[in-house]
Amino acid sequence: MHPLSLAQYLLPHQLLSRLMLLMTRIRWRPWKNFLISQIAKRFRVDWTEAANPDQDSYEHFNAFFTRALKPGARTPIADPDALLMPADGRISQLGRIVAGRIFQAKGMDFSTEELLGSARAAAAFRNGLFATIYLSPRDYHRVHMPWDGKLVETRHMPGRLFSVSPGTVASVPRLFARNERLVCSFDTDFGPMTVVMVGALLVSGVETVWNGVEIPPYAGRVFERDYAHRDPCVALQRFAEMARFNYGSTVIVLLPEAVLALDPSLAAGDSVRLGQCLARRVR
């Protein structure tokens, strides 16, 4: 194991992430402008896409990091049978779930049940499809709906906050099933669809459009919310914003078998953009 990955086992994950949360909410102009300018330069942020290109006007660093895009900067593929890529980023892995196991990296996988925290929820994806998308600091950090869906439940899973950088993913077993995460389950016209927002070291904030800030606080136990019987229901359309990372991480999409096929042009390591084709319905 790489020494940097090994060191993460000893770090106080939640304490460091709380400190980062505080630092990224500081409104003191010299500090927040320094952070924004450093990240923008290092990761070559494309300001021409931002709805607000004025760096100085952001109230704090997190406002910059979760910035909206201008209309038309991302558009959904026109194919009506296409499920959409939910975010900008890079594909960590994607493919078929084999007997309830999801591939993480060479020699490592994890179970759908431990990722979702529910045998019942995992059963629908036993031989389904998955896509794991890593969002770097350069990327647009809002996550959108791959398809029309009605929210059924959310499950806040407690855990560690390992980095989700490629090097750590390749060396820490079952990383995505160990990190704190928010499981969002939807009902669609092709069956169940689940979007998992995975927290990470220093970048563990998750916020949804239907309930606001979900993480932190960090969970001490599994916490479930039932949305299936709420009136009015939470129904979101294809391409609509569903959630955002308050400073980055990874999103995992789970899809059922038989009715869908992943876009054959996609492969691990590919850079992807919100709105492009993730999968297609099989007719």
Q: What are phi and psi of 169, to 5 degrees?
A: -60, -35
Structure tokens at 38: 């450093």
Verify cis geometry, omega within 30 degrees of 0, for the bond prior to 146.
no
* Active-site option among 60, 88, 185, 204: 88
Residue 18: closest CA among 280, 205, 220: 205
Structure tokens at 34: 């320094």
The answer to whether the beta carbons of residues 139 and 88 sit under 8 Å apart is yes
Rg of the chain, C-alpha, whole Å = 18
How far is residue 88's CA from residue 90's CA, in Å, rounded to a whole number?
7
Give the largest CA-CA distance in the chain: 56
122-153 exposure pattern, b = at least 16 Cβ within 10 A, e = fewer: bebbeebbbbbbbbeebbbbbbbbbbbbebbb
- Concerning whether 249 is annotated as a catalytic residue, the answer is yes
**What single DSSP character describes residue 69?**
B
- Concerning whether 263 is annotated as a catalytic residue, the answer is no
Verify cis geometry, omega within 30 degrees of 0, for the bond prior to 232.
yes
Helices (H), the chain: 3-8, 13-23, 29-42, 61-65, 112-116, 119-123, 166-169, 175-178
What residues pair up with 71 in beta bridges, in sequence order? none
* Active-site option among 144, 163, 204, 263: 144
- Concerning whether 144 is annotated as a catalytic residue, the answer is yes
- The secondary structure element, H or E, covering residue 102 is strand 101-105
* Active-site option among 5, 17, 92, 249: 249
How far is residue 37's CA from residue 43's CA, in Å, rounded to a whole number?
10
User: Catalytic residue positions?
Assistant: 88, 144, 249
